[in-house]
Amino acid sequence: MTDLKIETRDLDLFYGDFQALKKINFLAHENTVTAFIGPSGCGKSTLLRVFNRMNDLIDNVKISGKAYVDGKNIYKKDIDIDELRKKVGMVFQKPNPFPKSIFENVAYGLRVNGISNKTYITDKVEDSIKKAALWDEVKDKLKKSAFELSGGQQQRLCIARTLAIEPSIILMDEPASALDPISTAKVEDLIYELKANYTIVIVTHNMQQAGRVSDHTAFFYLGELVEYDETKRIFTNPKDIRTQNYVTGRFG
Amino acid sequence: MNHLDAELKNLNKDIVAMWKLVIDQLFKSKQAIENFDKDKVCEVLASEKRVDAFELKINMDCENILALFNPLANDLRFVLAVLKINYNLERIGDYSKGIVKLIKNADEPFEKKSLEEASIYGMFDVCLEMLTDSLDAFEHENNEKVRGIFKKDDKLDVVNKSANKIVASLIKHNPKNVLSYLDILTIVRKLERVGDQTKNISEEIIFYLEAKMVRHMKVKEEKKEKKDK
Amino acid sequence: MNTKKKINQAIAFNIFRLISLSVVAILVLILGFIVYHGFSAISWEFLTAMPDEGMTRGGIYPAIIGTLCLIAGSMVFAFPIGVLSGIYVNEYLKESWWKRFLRSMTDNLGGIPSIVFGLFGMALFVNTLGFGDSIIAGSLTLGLMVLPVIIRTTEEALKAVDNSFRLGSYALGATKLQTIAKVVLPIAFPNIITGLILSISRVSGETAPILFTGATYFLGQLPKGIFDQFMALPYHLYVLTTSGTNVEESRPMAYGTALVLIMIVLVVNLLANALRKYFGKQVKMK
């Protein structure tokens, strides 16, 4: 068994009085892809945002229980959130490149983390774009605005941007839901390739996507982690009737 | 490489390995009969376990691929074909096992002359050829080669039909050996079944390659259909 | 039926067109009127000479310089403060009574009549702080007056920045300050410049706030520093039309002054617009 990268123990999360997550016990091992599935509002995105403390940006969020990344409790007082976010990268639902050049988009993460060595930045940018399988499409227009790229290319640029700061965990919040089928397939192939070096957690509404890209799948319902198992188990022989109803499309 | 492609490639590798194992089993059963070689019998019985394991694994892989990747078009036909080929190969493995068990239980070797008279060796060779051809056709996606397999199966049917008479006359000439002769008849029957299974496999290959159901369709009809087109 | 609909459409459409045309017409009329009367007064001497002979001769040079000084002075003071407050309110404050209070105070500040600013400026800058009647007192007073405009436009400009940019930046380990400085502000800056343009227009046109804080109707020489009294175009215009020694004779000069004032506002606006475009290009939205 590989190393444990992410773990939560009896994690509760409240938005004001509303309990969005109930006693979540979850863990993910190194170099695996875990998919979070479940109906809208089930808490899957909320849990994802626990791991890089993105929930901190929302008012009135209360968390109890424990969450660990690389064995460290990330809700301890002395944790450096910016450092945590360097280690736990995130790709969003809508591609959100900055209104900067393609190059600067990828270099941004390096610059804000205090790196100013030009050759290092140039090499790292190229390397990251290559890893995101985008290099051939953009190598001649690195100075052009990122907004000139197609939606799918923008999303891969956002992945490249994340890779540049060398995270070991990548969180993806419905990374392909705003993309056309071909771009979606490219992003999925990319996830499959990245698995060798990163631990990936992906939230998706698309069951087939969960099937295609993930090793493990967690099904959430009303803030509860209902079932968590190998993806093939969840898809062929789920234990909980709610999971079965969800994966077979007979929900509600 | 695409994740689904990787899975399909894996599946392909497994089914080919199983195929080779089954061919090897049949070949060894032939040797076991020819030389009354009990070691070979053990080898066949041992590899039967591996064939069974393959069958389970391929079955599960197909299930997973269908559930996780929702393959379509040629990918879908490939998985469905493999699923059925898997079943047929396992049956062929069982027939090999059945044949070597007869040898295991026999006290003395079968008479060479009787075996030849019942065309056992010939049947083995045809079966092996058919299986090898089918594997070759599958690996190289060669639909012409598949068509040849159907004709070879016809040969087996001819032998099978005449087998009753041949064995009856053998018994008449040497009633003392009746049990051994009945074993020979059983072997003929089993080899004929191997031929049928191989034919089924070929039909699956055609389904995979051409999306055509040739099962329950006579070769002649198929030819006619081809001409009509 | 169909024709009736069409006629109704045509009537409505033409009414709209007429109304908007009349607005343009009034504007053209005013400008035309001023250009027509003022153009003849404009000369090199008019722009570069001191006023003379009870302001019936000479030029308006000190007034031009005075107005430019006021624009520069008030913006140096108000722009950074306004932008920083806008950033504080929009980026740092959570939705709370304090934020609502700050907002309503800003709005109230914007609603105060300019003459009250003048009085306040006199009390605070001229007397209490002892700046005397001076450019700095006038600039600060004007600056105070336009602060709400700048704060508000900054806030709106920041609010218009899609939150996904901020999230994207935080997710890369950027601090809040880095996110604001490197991502949010560059995107919002072209729109913040709009606030600058609006404020400049107001500053160059206001008379009341400088009335008690340093504007004088006649200077024989240019101010030597920021603590000197000054002339300003709008006040000069007022003096020329109401209380000159010979109102009738200085009338052409009044029109000329008005024309120059309008031209200055126009030129400064064009400059600011160019600035806006420049910053717009720095952020590669397309």
**pLDDT tens-digit map of B124-173:** 899 999 999 999 999 998 888 888 888 888 888 888 888 888 888 888 88
Closest-CA residue to C211 (of C140, C119, C107): C119
> pLDDT tens string for chain C (286 positions)?
678 888 988 999 999 999 999 999 999 999 899 888 888 888 888 888 787 766 666 778 888 888 889 999 999 999 999 999 999 999 888 888 998 998 899 889 888 998 999 999 999 988 888 888 888 899 999 999 999 999 999 999 999 999 999 999 999 989 999 999 999 999 999 889 888 888 888 888 888 888 888 777 777 777 777 788 888 888 888 888 887 667 677 788 888 888 988 888 888 888 888 888 888 887 766 5
The residue-averaged pLDDT of A208-221 equals: 91
pLDDT at B2 over 80: no
**Does one domain contain both C37 and C49?**
no
Q: Report how far apart, in Å, the C-alpha atoms of A56 and of each of A49, A77, A85, B191 are.
A: 9, 13, 12, 72
Contact call for residues A186 and A133 (beta carbons, < 8 A): yes
Which residue, chain included where needed, has tokens 């969800």? A246
Pairwise CA distance, residues C21 & B211, whole Å: 71
**Does one domain contain both C8 and C51?**
no
To the nearest whole Å, the CA of A10 is away from the closest chain C CA by 25
Query: By the CB < 8 Å criterion, does C172 face chain A?
Result: yes
Closest-CA residue to B194 (of B111, B93, B106): B93
pLDDT at A61 over 90: no
Q: Delimit the domains of chain A by residue range.
A: 32-51+83-247
Average pLDDT value for chain B: 86
Contact call for residues B115 and B35 (beta carbons, < 8 A): no
- Let me know the angle formed at the C-alpha of A178 by A14 and A50, rounded to the nearest 5 degrees: 25
To the nearest whole Å, the CA of B72 is away from the closest chain A CA by 13
Q: C37 lies in which domain range?
A: 2-41
| Percent of chain B at pLDDT exceeding 70 | 93
Query: What are the residues whose beta carbons fall under 8 Å from the beta carbon of C99, sequence distance 6 or more?
Result: C89, C93
Pairwise CA distance, residues C257 & C252, whole Å: 9
Q: B44 lies in which domain range?
A: 3-228
Query: What are the residues whose beta carbons fall under 8 Å from the beta carbon of A145, sequence distance 6 or more?
Result: A99, A100, A101, A102, C284, C285, C286
pLDDT at B219 over 60: no
The residue-averaged pLDDT of A156-178 equals: 91
Number of CB pairs, chain A paired with chain C, less than 8 A apart: 81
What tokens does C154 get? 């900054």
* pLDDT given at position B176: 83
Q: Report how far apart, in Å, the C-alpha atoms of A129 and of each of A103, A105, A107, A134, C158 are.
A: 9, 11, 11, 6, 30
* pLDDT given at position A25: 92
| Percent of chain C at pLDDT exceeding 90 | 33
Q: Report how far apart, in Å, the C-alpha atoms of A235 and of each of A189, A208, B78, B83 are.
A: 20, 10, 21, 18
Pairwise CA distance, residues A64 & A66, whole Å: 7
* pLDDT given at position A119: 92
Average pLDDT value for chain A: 89
When mean pLDDT is compared over A40-44, B65-69, B120-124, C15-19, the highest value belongs to C15-19
DSSP 8-state class, residue B111: P
When mean pLDDT is compared over A143-147, B110-114, B172-176, the highest value belongs to A143-147
Taking contacts as CB-CB distances below 8 angstroms, the residues of chain B near A188 are: 3
Looking at 3.40.50.1100, 2.40.170.20, 3.30.420.40, 3.40.50.300, the CATH number of the domain A32-51+83-247 comes to: 3.40.50.300
| pLDDT classification of B215: cutoffs 50, 70, 90 | low
| pLDDT classification of B182: cutoffs 50, 70, 90 | confident
Pairwise CA distance, residues B183 & B36, whole Å: 14
| pLDDT classification of A252: cutoffs 50, 70, 90 | low
| Percent of chain A at pLDDT exceeding 70 | 99
The domain that holds B165 is classified in CATH as 1.20.58.220
Taking contacts as CB-CB distances below 8 angstroms, the residues of chain A near C283 are: 99-100
| pLDDT classification of B34: cutoffs 50, 70, 90 | confident
Query: What are the residues whose beta carbons fall under 8 Å from the beta carbon of A115, sequence distance 6 or more?
Result: A121, A124
The residue-averaged pLDDT of A54-58 equals: 85
Coil vs helix vs strand at B10: helix
Pairing of strands A216-221, A199-203: unpaired
Taking contacts as CB-CB distances below 8 angstroms, the residues of chain A near C98 are: none
Pairing of strands A4-15, A61-69: antiparallel
Closest-CA residue to A200 (of A187, A185, A181, A219): A187
* pLDDT given at position C28: 93
Chain A touching partners, 3 or more CB pairs below 8 A: B, C
Cα torsion angle, A38, A41, A45, A49, sign: negative
What tokens does B165 get? 């008479």
* pLDDT given at position A202: 94
**Does one domain contain both C32 and C147?**
no
Which residue, chain included where needed, has tokens 């070096």? A197
Q: Which amino acid is at B9?
A: K
The DSSP secondary structure of C127-161, one letter per residue, reads IIS---SSHHHHHHHHHHHHHHHHHHHHHHHHHTS
Q: Which amino acid is at C26?
A: I
Query: Which of C 81-110 lie inside 8 A of A, CB atoms?
Result: 94-95
Taking contacts as CB-CB distances below 8 angstroms, the residues of chain A near B69 are: 208, 211-212
Facing residue for A213 by CB, picked from B3, B63, B64: B3
Return the bridge partners of A14, or none: A19, A62
Q: Residue ranges of the alpha helices (H) in chain C?
A: 2-38, 44-48, 61-87, 97-111, 114-121, 135-159, 163-171, 176-179, 185-205, 208-211, 233-242, 247-282
Return the bridge partners of A7, or none: A27, A68
Pairwise CA distance, residues A230 & A210, whole Å: 11
To the nearest whole Å, the CA of C247 is away from the closest chain A CA by 57
Closest-CA residue to B33 (of B198, B155, B180, B133): B180
Interface test with C, best of A112, A155, A170 (most C CBs within 10 A): A112
* Of residues C119 and B118, more confidently modeled: C119
To the nearest whole Å, the CA of A214 is away from the closest chain C CA by 23
**Does one domain contain both C98 and C144?**
yes
The domain that holds C193 is classified in CATH as 1.10.3720.10
Nearest residue in A to B70, CA atom: A208
State the total domains in chain B: 1
Query: By the CB < 8 Å criterion, does C183 face chain A?
Result: yes
Taking contacts as CB-CB distances below 8 angstroms, the residues of chain A near B3 are: 188-189, 192, 212-213
Pairwise CA distance, residues C158 & B213, whole Å: 65
* Of residues C207 and B223, more confidently modeled: C207
> Helices (H), strands (E): how many in chain B?
8, 0
Pairwise CA distance, residues C15 & B208, whole Å: 72
* pLDDT given at position C53: 63
Nearest residue in B to A217, CA atom: B68
Query: By the CB < 8 Å criterion, does A189 face chain C?
Result: no
Burial C137-158 (b: 16+ CB within 10 A, else e): bbbbbbbbbbbbbbbbbbbbbb
pLDDT at A247 over 90: no
State the total domains in chain C: 2
Which residue, chain included where needed, has tokens 């407050």? C85
